Amino acid sequence: MTERVLILGGRGRIGSSVAQDLAAHTQAKITITGRSPETHNLPLGEGTQYLTLDLAEVDKLRDAIANSDLVVHCAGPFHYRDANVLKLCIEQGVNYVDVSDHRSYTTKALSYHEDAIASGITAVINTGIFPGISNSMVRQGVEQFDEAEKIKLYYIVGGSGGAGITVMRTTFLGLQHPFEAWIDGKWQTVKPYSEREIVEFPHFQRNGVYWFDMPETFTLPYAFPSVKTVITKFGSFPDYYNHLTWMAAHIFPKSLMQRRGMIEFLSHVSHTMTDFTNRFSGIGVAVRSEVTGKKNGATGVYTSTVYHDNAAVATGCGTGTVAQLILEGKLNKPGVLPVENALSTDLFTTIMATRKIKIEQSFL
């Protein structure tokens, strides 16, 4: 029987990348949704259809979920989202995957863990490239040690990363408030886009990165209790974009940055700028994971890196692989789980190979 997949927010660059990944690697019947009826320039191939749907149309949303075997939630920014889609999936007994990327949403989603277990559904959150593939890289690193002690996750995106306005909004929304990070065995307040480091990445080489609030800052300490420090830092290429973002985080008045109109203005200006510079910077993404721990009494560092030439496509791969494993019955863990708790390293390495995503590793 053909599996039915509903991709909410499938008109966006991330949602359409997920749709393309699933169309290439599964036989699922895919329905993508958007708020307006225009369907031009959409990935509507054989077995894919379009549904006009606003998430506020609860009855229509409920019916669409009930007619699906898996829901993939790509309708960000998740800073603004409640967990109603997940709640409806639990009520209807439908498996769920999302590309959520903010701890406020992650916290809401995790509160439905016991309900998902009772319903028997597998709900995997924070999939994509970061969070997503990055978290599985960390899990692989942690498993190399008897006791892991420190996790460092560094991300860099070239230009726009091939993504749309929504991702730009996510970046500027992430600059608004200090956040809690797990440092030296306790939660400490960190300012966004602070404490610049120069980090070596594949393809991009050396580039600046800064503290950035990501769900894995919050979920990894719980997934791996022996770890005393989790650092998540993000940067852009070329590096001058980092200095502009730093100004938005530290110089612009907070009252101004908290206005939605200002966020929209900055997002559109940034998107216009990166559209121009993409031809020079590329739209790729790189992740560097460093896990420090003890093995046989000796301290070591396990480093893994990955690069993809299109950040939006890489996100589609990260989410698409999790969705594929659920559809194939290879990933069946009732509850609401971040990807590092849901996906085994064996499954991760096997499914990455199907997308020709190569993760480089070293152990010192």
Q: How far apart, in whole angstroms, are the C-alpha atoms of residue 256 and residue 283?
A: 29
Residues of the chain scoring pLDDT < 70: 1, 39-45
Res 43: pLDDT: 56
Res 334: pLDDT: 98
Q: How far apart, in whole angstroms, are the C-alpha atoms of residue 305 and residue 344?
A: 18
Cα torsion through 328, 108, 118, 127, rounded to 10 = 10
- Whole-prediction pTM value? 0.93
Res 267: pLDDT: 82
Which segments of the chain are extended strands (E)? 4-8, 29-34, 48-52, 70-73, 95-98, 122-125, 147-158, 179-183, 186-190, 197-201, 205-211, 229-237, 285-295, 298-308, 335-338, 360-363
Res 332: pLDDT: 98
SS3 235: strand
Res 357: pLDDT: 95
Give the C-alpha distances (Å, rounded to integers) separating 312 from 66, 117, 202, 259: 28, 31, 18, 27
Res 165: pLDDT: 76
Res 327: pLDDT: 98
Res 39: pLDDT: 62
Q: Topology of 130-311 in CATH?
A: Dihydrodipicolinate Reductase; domain 2 (3.30.360)
Per domain, the residue ranges of the chain are 4-127+312-357, 130-311
Query: How many C-alpha atoms does 298 have within 13 Å on its Cβ side?
Result: 7
CATH of domain 4-127+312-357: 3.40.50.720
